[in-house]
């Protein structure tokens, strides 16, 4: 480090311990202290940083909001933080253009004033920023009806590991264009790999291999491969989105169930109505949130469904009558635009922070290892039951919640051990959960995407289809400068874990 000449930038370069410490964590259970933190002011700073990283042999990790839950916004070399300066909305309209460090909540407020909506809003919207939303391919409750952020991305500007600017509105450089065409052709001739990719749940993570089949134009392919690549293919400097007209809720229901089987059946029936959102939490979560709707005293309740409709009043009526078929403990109907509606979603956003607090108060670890399960909705009961049995066997408490409308389950076991015993338990939980999910074509790499605790399972899950991820990485970043060890060649999952900050 002493012999390195730091790049001359318009933005800031930090090598002091305090700043490096601040950027040593994201919202996952990992901590890695970078050698340098750079806060670029413009694209030229990004290019200079990449050139510097290449020459110095340092890994480069992009970071926007730092709310990622897979340890993919931290790294040992340079952390490139976009939130401080590259945080402006450049255009609003037919095509909305935004810089990667723009905090999502601020962006949404501005869009709301224009009667526009981006429906993929993670519960971390106060913290996360658009660059990370692209990197992790964010979702939110309304992904159930409207899709992930990928649906709304029209094109991107990004800087490659070689330091070139790519604008996917334009023609790609020859090597990328030809390379992507070749990989696409191989994929299209490879029926077994296509079958594996197509059998995965809707929000299964890893690179978006489906883009190879879906898009003809290599520039479009590049756009949709960049989304969900956790900063390993290029560094995004500008995001262009096609937003929807704002659509308010026409009816939201909260149903407290006494039976998991009834709960799962109701979820499947409700999903057929195409609700805007279909969320769930179990009784364990509800003990820890504070509001009056998700927190209750009836001990017979096992789980809660939140379902929101925005298509028509008839759709909402059909949803109500499905819920009335069950022996519910309670059914709330939440008026659109009411204080209760705002309080409900605030409580929903508070589930993870509340269970973090519960674990912290007891000195327990809550590692982000099986918090990102994605399944096919029909398999909810079976997967839930199998994981509960595993927890019973290991004598561990667990909380479940998630965006059930698109098969997302956040499973959070509480670990009350330390040292080798803790490591052994973590390894058993993650490997057994992986085995359970394999039976149902589910995955441990879902909404929060690839990273230090689960990428190791991508190769056994994808089999021959994993080679396409490698080919794509080799095409974009053959020297593995961008965010190494987050998708390929990962360290053991307990390495760099640190629960002291949860
Ligand atoms: C309480 C809580 C609730 C959450 N709820 C949800 C949820 O409902 N839905 C959901 O999808 N996620 C959720 N998350 C996870 C996380 O907030 C999302 O993944 C979010 O999209 C990450 O955005 P960020 O800006 O914080 O990204 P970061 O953590 O900064 O980065 C995420 C990834 O993107 C990469 N990246 C960042 N900027 C760039 C760039 N400019 N170019 C290339 N790559 C880049 C990073 O290298 C990293 O790999 C939640 C997290 C928390 C803490």
Query: Model confidence at 407, in pLDDT bands (50, 70, 90)?
Result: very high
What is the CA(372)–ligand 1 centre distance, in A? 13
Ligand 1 atom having least distance to the Cα of 237: 41
Helix boundaries (H) for 246-329: 260-271, 283-288, 313-323
Residue 53 phi, psi (nearest 5): -60, -45
3-state SS, one letter per residue, for 31-47:
ECCCCEEEECCCHHHHH
| Domain spans of the chain, in order of start | 12-81, 89-245, 251-439
pLDDT at 137 over 90: yes
pLDDT at 131 over 60: yes
pLDDT at 325 over 90: yes
In the chain, % of residues over pLDDT 90: 95
Query: CA-CA distances (angstroms) from residue 357 to 65, 101, 411?
Result: 21, 28, 16
Residue pLDDT, tens place only, 263-291: 999 999 999 999 999 999 999 998 899 88
What is the CA(325)–ligand 1 centre distance, in A? 38
Average per-residue pLDDT in the chain? Answer: 96
Fold of 251-439: Vanillyl-alcohol Oxidase; Chain A, domain 3 (3.40.462)
What is the CA(68)–ligand 1 centre distance, in A? 4
Query: Model confidence at 297, in pLDDT bands (50, 70, 90)?
Result: confident
- The pLDDT assigned to 500 comes to 66
- The pLDDT assigned to 76 comes to 98
What is the CA(137)–ligand 1 centre distance, in A? 8
pLDDT at 17 over 90: yes
CATH code 2.70.70.10 for 89-245: no
- The pLDDT assigned to 501 comes to 53
Kindly state the helix (H) or strand (E) to which residue 305 belongs, with its residue range: strand 303-309
CATH of 12-81, one of 3.30.56.10, 3.30.43.10, 3.40.50.300, 3.40.50.2000: 3.30.43.10
What is the CA(313)–ligand 1 centre distance, in A? 34
pLDDT at 177 over 80: yes
pLDDT at 499 over 80: no
pLDDT at 15 over 70: yes
Residue pLDDT, tens place only, 63-84: 999 999 999 999 999 999 999 9
pTM above 0.85, yes or no: yes
Segment 330-346 shows an average pLDDT of 95
Query: Model confidence at 295, in pLDDT bands (50, 70, 90)?
Result: confident
pLDDT at 57 over 60: yes
- The pLDDT assigned to 290 comes to 85
Segment 121-132 shows an average pLDDT of 97
What is the CA(52)–ligand 1 centre distance, in A? 25
Ligand 1 atom having least distance to the Cα of 82: 41
What is the CA(149)–ligand 1 centre distance, in A? 12
CB 257 within 8 A of CB 303: yes
Task: Measure the CA–CA gap between 152 and 243, rounded to whole angstroms.
Answer: 6
With a Cβ cut-off of 6 Å, ligand 1 is lined by: 26-27, 61-69, 72-73, 82, 100, 122-124, 127-129, 131-133, 135-136, 138-140, 230-231, 235-236, 352-353, 447-448, 483
Residue pLDDT, tens place only, 220-252: 999 999 999 999 999 999 999 999 999 999 999
**Which residue puts its alpha carbon closest to atom 18 of ligand 1?**
68
- The pLDDT assigned to 37 comes to 98
Ligand 1 mutation pick, 107, 124, 348, max ligand atoms within 8 A of CB: 124
């Amino acid at each position: 480090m002493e012999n390195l000449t730091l790049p001359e930038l318009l933005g800031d370069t930090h090598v002091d311990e305090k700043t490096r410490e601040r950027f040593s964590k994201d919202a996952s259970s990992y901590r890695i202290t970078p050698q340098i933190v750079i806060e670029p002011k413009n694209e030229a700073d990004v290019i200079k940083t990449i050139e510097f990283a290449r020459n110095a042999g340092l890994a480069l990790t992009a970071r926007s909001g730092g709310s990622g839950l897979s340890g993919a916004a931290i790294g040992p070399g340079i952390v490139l933080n976009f939130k401080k300066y590259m945080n402006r909305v450049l255009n609003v309209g037919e095509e909305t253009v935004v810089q990667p460090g723009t905090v999502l909540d601020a962006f949404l407020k501005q869009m709301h004033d224009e009667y526009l909506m981006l429906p993929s809003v993670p519960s971390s919207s106060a913290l996360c920023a658009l660059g990370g939303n692209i990197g992790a391919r964010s979702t939110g409750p309304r992904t159930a009806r409207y899709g992930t952020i990928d649906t709304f991305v029209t094109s991107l500007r990004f800087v490659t590991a070689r330091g070139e600017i790519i604008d996917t509105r334009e023609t790609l450089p020859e090597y990328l264009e030809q390379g992507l065409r070749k990989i696409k052709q191989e994929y299209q001739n490879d029926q077994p790999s296509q079958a594996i990719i197509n059998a995965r749940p809707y929000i299964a993570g890893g690179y978006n291999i489906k883009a190879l089949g879906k898009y003809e134009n290599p520039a479009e392919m590049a756009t949709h491969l960049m989304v969900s690549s956790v900063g390993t293919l290029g560094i995004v400097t500008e995001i262009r989105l096609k937003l929807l007209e704002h659509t308010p809720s026409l009816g939201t229901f909260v149903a407290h169930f006494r039976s998991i089987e009834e709960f799962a059946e109701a979820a499947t029936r409700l999903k057929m109505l195409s609700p805007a959102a279909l969320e769930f939490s179990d009784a364990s979560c509800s003990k820890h949130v504070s509001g009056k709707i998700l927190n209750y005293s009836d001990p017979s309740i096992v789980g809660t469904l939140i379902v929101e409709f925005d298509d028509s009043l008839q759709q909402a009526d059909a949803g109500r009558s499905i819920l009335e078929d069950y022996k519910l403990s309670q059914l709330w109907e939440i008026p659109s635009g009411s204080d209760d509606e705002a309080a409900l979603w605030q409580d929903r956003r508070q589930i993870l922070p509340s269970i973090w607090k519960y674990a912290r108060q007891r000195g327990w670890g809550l590692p982000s290892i099986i918090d990102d399960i994605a399944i096919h909705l029909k398999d909810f009961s079976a997967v839930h039951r199998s994981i509960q049995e595993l927890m019973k066997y290991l004598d561990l408490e667990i909380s479940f919640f998630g965006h059930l409308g698109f098969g997302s389950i956040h499973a959070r076991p509480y670990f009350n051990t330390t040292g080798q015993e803790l490591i052994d338990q973590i390894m058993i939980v993650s490997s057994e959960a992986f085995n359970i999910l394999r039976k149902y074509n589910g995955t441990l790499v879902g909404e929060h995407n690839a990273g230090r605790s689960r990428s190791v399972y991508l190769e056994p899950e994808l089999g021959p289809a994993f080679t396409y991820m490698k080919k794509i990485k080799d095409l974009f970043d053959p020297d593995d400068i961008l965010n190494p060890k987050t998708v390929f060649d990962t360290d053991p999952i307990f390495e760099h874990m640190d629960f002291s900050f949860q």
